[in-house]
């Protein structure tokens, strides 16, 4: 949920952009962290650890690795600091990440 | 290409910016490197008015202090600012910093380095502490106060130090219901003025209590709490549950000392200052000549003291490059300001921590 009224702060309007998370289309603000847009849309489960534990946002400033997601095929993206761009394809990261261009070892044998 | 500078400052929060202002004032070419896209560090999410004296911007809200310091630094012709830039290495042999920038890797050679890297939030060990919905207090502040997003609807705050109390009140300001504050110590650790704001809003503060576990499958739906005795042992039969979708951990911070370790600075373990802390002298210099430390990176305290510490480090680094008139007086008045900020019972722990750090240094130096 977005904060619409605050006694101290103003939230200046930003440009809306569309992205997808797990195939679902979501609207967020350009340049805000991906995790902020996901939280605003009610999504808090961002990752599943190699041991199958659900994980979400913890530090929100890029210190920890709790909020890793896959963005446009790239693993281990810190959703708390990665700016949202129009058309991003975001997915939950399941287990360890994979290299962006996975090497087909069989093909080289 | 290698960038050269007189003084490189790692971290553009209250300490780093304060250091940059005094260093550039002495005519030194200064470079501020920060991994975020805006200067100010964690000041950008502080909505409360600061205490202290006029020199530390008392009465002004934290984010406004951050903006003012950032403007002063950005407007200085002697100062370069690299944003979205993370220092990822330090080569001891030649004193070179390796920096990851949007345009690629860069190297920086500076005559003096000030580490103002800040701190990271501590976690608390209990089952399910990794569930989505369990956040560090700073994360909750960032989400609400910087990005305008609510972290949940019903919050339980763990920790009644200043951060727990302040963020607890900020949750209410943002429209979140704060169910309770849980504090293991027998009394509130933060300033009473902050506790009073929560009490007036009807938030119960459970002292001598701790969280046993978080409840939930995919995200938090509650916490189980137990009372503890004077030896921190759980009191049988005293457990109770609280419904919430947000658990906020405000149980302290640890200095970010990776760069200091990489540079070979001697590190002491001082729990009162947040854990591992680079040894530093009265001039804020670490055991590696030419490398200074300021702010939470040199011992977790408050933003006000970080600003004064940054000033001390900036003055000392500048004077070590080229002695300047009035250096001694400015150092003593900054030290007096720091002593004033550390006066009073809420700073007992910090004072004890710095005494311990100083003693550890003496012990080390005499051997």
Neighbours of B116 (CB within 10 A): 34
Express the helix, strand and coil content of chain A in percent, nearest 5 each.
10, 30, 60
Alpha-carbon gap: B330 to the closest alpha carbon of chain A (Å): 34
**Residues B32-58: pLDDT tens digits?**
999 999 999 999 989 888 877 777 788
Contacts with A57 from chain B: Cβ below 8 Å = 132, 135, 139, 143, 151
Radius of gyration of chain A (CA): 16
pTM of the model: 0.91
Residue B131 DSSP code:
S
Of the candidates A2, A5, A66, the beta carbon closest to that of B149 is on: A2
Chain B residues with CB-CB distance to A62 below 8 A: 35
The answer to whether residues B350 and B189 touch, using CB atoms and an 8 Å cutoff, is: no
Residue from A14, A33, A44, A69 whose CB has the most chain B CBs within 10 Å, to mutate:
A44
Please name the residues in contact with B189: beta carbons below 8 A apart, sequence gap of 6 or more: B159, B160, B161, B162, B183, B346
Mean pLDDT over B301-311 rounds to 95
Percent of chain B scored above 90 by pLDDT?
90
Q: How many residues does chain B have?
A: 367
User: pLDDT digits over A13-58, tens only?
Assistant: 899 999 999 999 999 999 999 999 999 999 999 999 999 999 999 9
B215 or B362: whose pLDDT is higher?
A: B215
Q: Give the pLDDT confidence score for residue A104 in this predicted structure.
A: 58
pLDDT reading at B346 higher than 90: no
- In the structure encoding, which two tokens stand for residue B334, read together? 């900054």
> Which residue is closest to A59 within chain B, CA to CA?
B139
Structure tokens at A92: 């939950």
- Nearest by CB to B138, which of A3, A39, A60? A60
Q: Which residues of A touch B45 (CB under 8 A)?
A: none
| CA-based nearest residue in chain A for residue B118 | A63
CA angle A104, A105, A109 (to 5 degrees): 125
Taking residues B22-31, report their average pLDDT: 96
């Amino acid at each position: 949920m977005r904060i619409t009224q605050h006694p101290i702060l103003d939230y200046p309007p930003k440009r809306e952009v569309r992205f997808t998370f797990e195939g679902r289309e979501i609207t967020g603000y350009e340049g805000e962290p991906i995790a902020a847009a996901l939280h605003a849309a009610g999504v808090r489960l961002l990752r599943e650890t190699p041991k199958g534990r659900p994980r979400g946002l913890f530090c929100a400033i890029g210190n920890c690795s709790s909020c890793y997601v896959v963005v446009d095929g790239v693993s281990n993206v810190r959703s708390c600091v990665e700016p949202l761009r129009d058309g991003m394809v975001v997915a939950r990261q399941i287990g360890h990440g994979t290299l962006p261009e996975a090497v087909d070892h069989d093909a080289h044998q | 290409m290698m960038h050269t500078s007189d003084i490189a400052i790692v971290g553009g929060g209250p300490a780093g910016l304060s250091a940059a202002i005094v260093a550039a004032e002495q005519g030194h070419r200064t470079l501020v490197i920060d991994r975020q896209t805006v200067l100010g560090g964690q000041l950008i999410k502080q909505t409360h008015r600061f205490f202290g004296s006029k020199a530390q911007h008392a009465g002004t809200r934290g984010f406004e202090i951050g903006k003012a310091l950032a403007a002063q630094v950005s407007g200085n012709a002697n100062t370069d600012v690299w944003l979205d830039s993370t220092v990822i290495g330090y080569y001891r042999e030649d004193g070179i910093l390796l920096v990851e920038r949007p345009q690629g890797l860069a190297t920086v050679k500076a005559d003096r380095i000030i580490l103002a890297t800040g701190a990271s939030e501590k976690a608390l060990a209990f089952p399910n502490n990794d569930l989505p919905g369990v956040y560090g207090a700073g994360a909750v502040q960032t989400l609400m106060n910087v990005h305008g997003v609510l972290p949940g609807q019903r919050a339980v705050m763990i920790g009644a130090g200043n951060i727990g109390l302040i963020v607890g009140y900020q949750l209410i300001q943002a429209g979140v219901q704060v169910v309770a504050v849980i504090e293991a110590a027998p009394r509130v650790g933060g300033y009473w003025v902050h506790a009073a704001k929560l009490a007036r809003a009807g938030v119960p503060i459970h002292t001598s209590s701790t969280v046993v576990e978080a409840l939930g499958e995919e995200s938090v739906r509650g916490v189980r709490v137990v009372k503890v005795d004077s030896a921190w042992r759980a009191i049988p039969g005293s457990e109770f549950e609280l419904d919430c979708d947000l658990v906020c951990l405000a149980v302290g911070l640890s200095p970010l000392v990776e760069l200091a370790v990489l540079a070979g600075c001697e590190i002491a373990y001082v729990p009162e200052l947040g854990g591992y802390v680079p040894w530093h002298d009265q001039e804020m210099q670490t055991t590696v000549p030419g490398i200074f430390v300021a702010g939470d990176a040199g011992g977790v305290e408050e933003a006000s003291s970080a600003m004064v510490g940054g000033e001390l480090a900036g003055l000392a680094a500048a004077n070590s490059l080229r002695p300047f008139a009035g250096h001694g007086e400015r150092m003593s008045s900054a030290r007096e300001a720091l002593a004033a900020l550390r006066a009073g019972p809420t700073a007992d722990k910090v004072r004890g921590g710095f005494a311990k750090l100083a003693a550890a240094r003496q012990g080390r130096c005499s051997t």
